[in-house]
């Protein structure tokens, strides 16, 4: 069993980001960057499967700037075996990412792809689904539990109002939710070993995928500053305000 | 509840931009060291500190350690956290690869120490003491002792202690009474009582390796008759532990701070012991432990100052109280955040200028320790070794004095809330205090500086600092961008040389003169050393601004902080200079009966 785990370099979840003053995008100059938390969970899950003897090789892949190598090394310190890096400074959209992934899936022939359900920067929640469509593979999204049984997987999903368990045939795609596992702290010897694991770099041209964006960002705003509350005198006044001021009912 | 964010960018600034730590890769055994690797380790280590160790800091302080009939239990969560820490390989960051260590630079260990002390000083002492035991055994142990103990200490499944102090003697170890009697088979039976043994007994590891100072039956009087012994709690057997040795924890102390670290009375009752190194040569071995430990304690001062600063700063930005003296700065709010007030800014800037300067100084020492350990060039090795020896008492005493001072200032920023346990600031004040006392009180550090380090080899150690500092002045005094920093620094350096000459002269005739000057001289020296660091950091920041304009705000803040240091902190060196020059008269003249 070969597992492919695509990961993304994103602003660390602890950083409070702000919009750029010209409203063109989020300002991420000189802020701390990390592995997207959902992707870290995906790496951890793959490593656990390998430790349980259910997988032989874990390939971790990222599309991003030169520095995204740091995130690949982090994933390899957790336990991935080798890395693939498509180097680009572009802000690549989900469809382009899915197409690039398809290229490597055809090349590497993994039996399973585990990836975050979404990245915490764009919050698209699309890449896994698009990749499944492009490959014609089954998908199980928002996984909170994964069990492999030979050529199929039982995946428990978090859905509105409860849990749903699906069986998918492999090869297939699983996207992770937050409660799937708690990623480990990388061990010092593993961090050092990760430096020596193979890492292959590619340019977008090497893989023949066009990263031209199809979406255009019109404007990015900070959330509105929270206004102070008011005390209402009666239920009627409350209903009136909800209806006419807040316009929510 | 306080918060902790590892100051990774500031750490990287000192490591990569000021000190060029990746140059260590030229040393034997450090070939793998690169900026990338150091960053990755610091990132992961920092995560462990902030996510695993830090959440146990306040709860550990409130709960403390428990003693029950010789058995000590650490506060809830410590055992699991220690397991994560040890299994992650963090006990052996700079340990010898021959014994399972990671073989990374001591400098990296220094960075980790800082973050660990910020996150949870009490916790940090458990692996910290093991480090001291490791150093002593690594330097002075027999091959057999190394094979038995070092892998276990590096793996963290066994921990270590340093057993020096006895009820009647702390500083003056020549007075110890603990006896070791040969039992005929090359080993010894050791009997006596040791007190104030940090991490002396606990439930984190399967065995505890005590390094104990004791006297042989034929020992000469005083410090020349001290020998060092290794006394495990359980006797090693196969790859694990066997019989319980005659070592028992008599009680644990109730103390002002570091509640989550057990401070023990350890009773040795005919405990089986092995000699480490030669008979009667224990003092030298002890100083090997102590020097590493003293730098470690200096990092406690820095670590506490950093965490106190982070939280003082957050509170000062958040707490709304009164309007700025020059008119409202936050008119949409009922009052301005207190960071607008000059005195609050003064305290915050002092904390910032100290922590950033002390970080540079500590890492500078750490990097030189690596050069001293690994360089194949005898001249360079000696230079680095001298410099570390000189800086050790300065780092220990100055950084721990300032650790308390900054903790108190940051508590002050909180006003009344700083005095309330829930906010966490009073714990930093209590925890910081011990660092001024143990591993040789700060008064003893000052004596070490003027008595030992100053006179050693006719001032050779001093020159290891003065020469590069004077060279820096010469190279940069005509640089207009640096002038406002280099000039005050150059003046302070000159006065330090004057004070040094005065102490050497008068101290030779009357040692009380050196003793009376020592503490003020150490402070003066430390401020000048920080001045040197700030000059170098400004130079680096100016270069950084040019090469990396996107990060200009970061570099500008460094330059502005350096300005504060030159205006508001370095002048204290002048005051200390005057005190030094005043001589011992007023200190020694008053008749004892007149006190």
Q: What is the pLDDT of residue B522?
A: 98
Residues B405/B358, Cβ–Cβ less than 8 Å: no
Residue B297 CA: distances (Å) to CA of B428, B445, B530: 15, 12, 18
- Hey, where are the domains in chain B? 8-144, 159-280, 454-588
Instruction: Return the residue in B30, B43, B119, B548 with the most chain A beta carbons within 10 A, the one to mutate for interface testing.
Output: B43
**pLDDT for B488-526, tens place per residue?**
999 999 999 999 999 999 998 999 999 999 999 999 999
Q: How far, in Å, CA of B168 to CA of B432, rounded?
A: 25
Contact criterion met (CB < 8 Å) for A185 and B84: yes
**pLDDT for B342-368, tens place per residue?**
999 999 999 999 999 999 999 999 999
Instruction: Return the residue in A34, A185, A197 with the most chain B beta carbons within 10 A, the one to mutate for interface testing.
Output: A185
Residue given tokens 């009582």 in the structure block: B193
Q: How far, in Å, CA of B441 to CA of B546, rounded?
A: 44
Architecture per CATH, B8-144: Orthogonal Bundle (1.10)
Is pLDDT at A2 greater than 90 in this prediction? yes
Q: How far, in Å, CA of A112 to CA of A172, rounded?
A: 5
Q: For residue A196, give the H/E element and its range.
A: none
Instruction: Closest CB to B102: pick one of A32, A69, A189.
Output: A189
| Residue A29 binned pLDDT confidence (cut-offs 50, 70, 90) | confident
Residue given tokens 């150690």 in the structure block: B461
Residues A145/A155, Cβ–Cβ less than 8 Å: yes
| Cis, bond preceding A170 (omega within 30 deg of 0) | no
**What is the count of residue pairs from A and B with beta carbons less than 8 Å apart?**
58
Interface of B with A in 37-56 (CB under 8 A): 37, 39-41, 43-45, 47-48, 51-52
Instruction: Return the residue in B44, B99, B101, B332 with the most chain A beta carbons within 10 A, the one to mutate for interface testing.
Output: B44
Is pLDDT at B550 greater than 90 in this prediction? no
3-state secondary structure (DSSP) of residue B481: coil
B292 CA: distance to closest CA in chain A (Å): 22
B551 CA: distance to closest CA in chain A (Å): 7
For residue B276, which of B382, B432, B163, B379 has the smallest C-alpha distance? B163
Q: How far, in Å, CA of B236 to CA of B272, rounded?
A: 11
Q: Phi and psi at residue B128, in whole multiples of 5°?
A: -60, -45
A196 CA: distance to closest CA in chain B (Å): 10
Q: What is the pLDDT of residue B445?
A: 97
Is pLDDT at B140 greater than 90 in this prediction? yes
For residue B446, which of B346, B341, B517 has the smallest C-alpha distance? B517
Q: Which of A159-163, B408-412, B416-420, B574-578 has the lowest mean pLDDT?
A: A159-163
Cβ neighbors of A55 (< 8 A, separation 6 or more) are A1, A2, A3, A46, A49, A112
Average pLDDT over residues A195-214: 94
Contact criterion met (CB < 8 Å) for B87 and A74: no
Is pLDDT at B287 greater than 90 in this prediction? no
Contact criterion met (CB < 8 Å) for B36 and A191: no
Q: What is the pLDDT of residue A53?
A: 96
- Top CATH class of B159-280 equals mainly beta
Architecture per CATH, A2-244: 3-Layer(aba) Sandwich (3.40)
Is pLDDT at B230 greater than 90 in this prediction? yes
Is pLDDT at B288 greater than 80 in this prediction? no
Chain B residues inside the 8 Å CB shell of A32: 8
Contact criterion met (CB < 8 Å) for B102 and A188: yes
Q: Which of A78-82, B371-375, B454-458, B589-593 has the lowest mean pLDDT?
A: B454-458
Q: Give catalytic residues of B, as residue numbers.
A: 439
Q: How far, in Å, CA of B458 to CA of B397, rounded?
A: 23
Q: What is the pLDDT of residue B458?
A: 87
Q: What is the pLDDT of residue B388?
A: 96
Residues B245/B231, Cβ–Cβ less than 8 Å: yes
Chain A residues inside the 8 Å CB shell of B39: 70
Contact criterion met (CB < 8 Å) for A73 and B36: yes
Residues A242/A135, Cβ–Cβ less than 8 Å: no
ipTM summary value: 0.88
Contact criterion met (CB < 8 Å) for B36 and A70: yes
Give the chain B residue whose CA is nearest to the CA of A73: B40
B479 CA: distance to closest CA in chain A (Å): 29
For residue B137, which of B123, B124, B122, B147 has the smallest C-alpha distance? B147
The phi-psi region of residue A208 (left if phi > 0; otherwise alpha if psi is between -120 and 50; otherwise beta) is: left
Ordered DSSP codes for B94-133: TS-GGGT-----HHHHHHHHHHHHHHHHHHHHHHHHHHHH
Q: At what angle do helices B511-547 and B342-374 cross, to 10 degrees?
A: 100
Is pLDDT at A245 greater than 90 in this prediction? no
Average pLDDT, chain B: 96
Chain A residues inside the 8 Å CB shell of B88: 185-188
Q: What is the pLDDT of residue A228?
A: 75
A124 CA: distance to closest CA in chain B (Å): 27
Q: Output Rg (C-alpha) for chain B, integer angstroms.
A: 24
B45 CA: distance to closest CA in chain A (Å): 8
* B414-419 contacts at long range (C-beta below 8 A, 24 or more positions apart): B414/B312, B414/B315, B414/B319, B415/B319, B417/B315
Is pLDDT at B318 greater than 80 in this prediction? yes
Contact criterion met (CB < 8 Å) for B47 and A185: yes
Q: What is the pLDDT of residue A203?
A: 96
Chain B residues inside the 8 Å CB shell of A69: 36
Contact criterion met (CB < 8 Å) for B88 and A29: no
| Residue B170 binned pLDDT confidence (cut-offs 50, 70, 90) | confident
Residues A64/A211, Cβ–Cβ less than 8 Å: no
For residue B442, which of B574, B298, B255 has the smallest C-alpha distance? B298
Q: Count of CB atoms within 10 A of residue B590's CB?
A: 9
Q: Output Rg (C-alpha) for chain A, integer angstroms.
A: 21
Average pLDDT over residues B50-76: 98
Instruction: Closest CB to B102: pick one of A70, A192, A195.
Output: A192
- Is the CB of B111 inside 8 Å of chain A's CB atoms? no
Is pLDDT at B330 greater than 80 in this prediction? yes
- Hey, where are the domains in chain A? 2-244
Q: How far, in Å, CA of A217 to CA of A199, rounded?
A: 33
Average pLDDT over residues A211-240: 89
**Alpha-carbon dihedral sign for residues B118, B407, B323, B553:** negative
Chain A residues inside the 8 Å CB shell of B102: 188-189, 192
Residue B405 CA: distances (Å) to CA of A137, B242, B298: 63, 47, 14
Residue given tokens 């001290």 in the structure block: B226
Give the chain B residue whose CA is nearest to the CA of A225: B332
Taking an 8 Å Cβ-Cβ cutoff, which residues of chain A contact chain B? 14, 29-30, 32, 69-70, 73-74, 77, 185-189, 191-192, 194-195
Give the chain B residue whose CA is nearest to the CA of A14: B5
């Amino acid at each position: 069993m070969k597992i492919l785990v695509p990961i993304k370099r994103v602003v660390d979840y602890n950083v409070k980001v702000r919009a750029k003053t010209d409203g063109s995008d989020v300002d991420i100059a000189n802020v701390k960057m990390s592995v997207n938390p959902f992707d870290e969970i995906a790496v951890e899950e793959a490593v656990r499967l390998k430790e349980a003897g259910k997988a032989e090789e874990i390939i971790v892949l990222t599309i991003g700037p030169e520095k995204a190598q740091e995130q690949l090394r982090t994933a390899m310190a957790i336990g991935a075996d080798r890395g693939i890096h498509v180097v680009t400074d572009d802000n690549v959209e989900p469809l382009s990412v899915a197409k690039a992934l398809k290229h490597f899936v055809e090349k590497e022939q993994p039996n399973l792809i585990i990836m975050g359900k979404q990245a915490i920067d764009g919050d698209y929640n699309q890449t896994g689904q698009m990749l499944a469509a492009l490959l014609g593979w089954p998908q199980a999204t928002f996984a909170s539990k994964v069990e492999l049984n030979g050529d199929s997987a039982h995946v428990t999903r978090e859905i509105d109002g409860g849990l749903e368990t699906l069986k998918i045939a492999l090869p297939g795609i699983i996207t992770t939710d937050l409660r799937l596992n708690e990623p480990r702290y990388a061990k010092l010897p593993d961090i050092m070993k990760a430096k020596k694991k193979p890492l292959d770099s590619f340019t977008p041209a090497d893989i023949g995928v066009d990263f031209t964006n199809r979406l255009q960002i019109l404007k990015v705003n900070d959330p509105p500053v929270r206004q102070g509350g008011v005390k209402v005198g009666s239920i009627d006044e409350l209903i009136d305000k909800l209806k006419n001021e807040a316009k929510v009912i | 509840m306080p918060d902790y964010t590892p100051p990774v960018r500031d750490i990287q600034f000192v490591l990569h931009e000021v000190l060029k730590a990746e140059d260590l890769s030229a040393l034997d055994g450090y070939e793998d060291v690169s900026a990338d690797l150091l960053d990755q380790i610091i990132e992961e280590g920092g995560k462990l500190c902030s996510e695993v160790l830090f959440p146990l800091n306040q709860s550990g302080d409130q709960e403390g350690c428990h003693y029950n009939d010789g058995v000590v239990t650490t506060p809830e969560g410590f055992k699991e956290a220690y397991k994560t820490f040890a299994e992650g390989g963090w006990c052996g960051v700079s340990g010898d690869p021959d014994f399972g260590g990671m073989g990374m630079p001591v400098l990296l260990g220094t960075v980790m120490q800082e973050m660990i002390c910020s996150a949870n000083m009490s916790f940090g002492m458990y692996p910290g003491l093991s480090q001291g035991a490791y150093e002593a055994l690594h330097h002075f142990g027999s091959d057999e002792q190394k094979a038995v103990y070092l892998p276990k200490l590096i793996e963290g499944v066994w921990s270590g202690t340093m057993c020096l102090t006895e009820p009647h003697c702390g500083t003056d170890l020549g007075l110890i009474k603990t006896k070791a009697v040969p039992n005929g088979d090359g080993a010894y039976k050791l009997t006596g009582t040791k007190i104030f043994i940090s991490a002396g007994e606990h439930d984190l590891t399967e065995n505890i390796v005590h390094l104990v100072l004791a006297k042989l039956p034929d020992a000469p009087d005083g410090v020349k008759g001290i020998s060092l012994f290794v006394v495990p709690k359980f006797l090693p057997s196969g790859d694990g532990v066997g019989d319980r040795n005659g070592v028992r924890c008599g009680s644990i102390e109730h103390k002002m701070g570091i509640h989550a670290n057990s401070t023990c009375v350890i009773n040795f009752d005919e405990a089986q012991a092995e000699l480490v190194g030669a008979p009667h040569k224990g003092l030298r071995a002890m100083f090997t432990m102590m020097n590493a430990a003293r730098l470690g304690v200096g990092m406690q001062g820095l670590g506490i100052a950093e965490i106190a600063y982070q939280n003082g700063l957050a509170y000062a930005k958040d707490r709304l109280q009164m309007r700025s003296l020059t008119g409202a700065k936050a008119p949409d709010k009922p009052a301005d955040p207190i960071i607008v007030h000059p005195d609050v800014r003064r305290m915050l800037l002092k904390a910032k200028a100290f922590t950033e300067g002390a970080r540079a100084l500590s890492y500078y020492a750490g990097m030189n320790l690596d050069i001293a350990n690994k360089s194949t060039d005898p001249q360079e090795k000696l230079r680095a070794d001298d410099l570390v020896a000189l800086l050790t008492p300065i780092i220990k005493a100055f950084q721990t004095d300032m650790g308390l001072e900054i903790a108190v200032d940051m508590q002050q920023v909180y006003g009344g809330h700083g005095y309330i346990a829930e906010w966490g600031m009073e714990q930093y004040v209590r925890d910081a205090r011990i660092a001024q006392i143990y591993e040789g009180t700060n008064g003893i550090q000052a004596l070490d500086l003027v008595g030992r380090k100053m006179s050693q080899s006719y001032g050779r150690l001093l020159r290891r600092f003065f020469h590069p500092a004077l060279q820096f002045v010469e190279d940069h005094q005509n640089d207009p961008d640096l002038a406002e920093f280099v000039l005050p620094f150059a003046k302070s350096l000159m006065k330090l040389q004057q004070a040094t000459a005065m102490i050497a002269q008068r101290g030779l005739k009357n040692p009380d003169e050196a003793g009376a000057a020592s503490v003020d001289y150490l402070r003066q020296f430390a401020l000048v050393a920080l001045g040197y660091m700030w000059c170098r950091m400004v130079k680096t920041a100016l270069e950084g601004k040019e090469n990396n304009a996107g990060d200009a705000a970061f570099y500008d803040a460094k330059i502005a902080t350096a300005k504060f240091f030159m205006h508001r902190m370095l002048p204290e060196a002048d005051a200390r200079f005057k005190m030094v020059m005043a001589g011992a008269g007023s200190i020694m003249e008053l008749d004892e009966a007149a006190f």
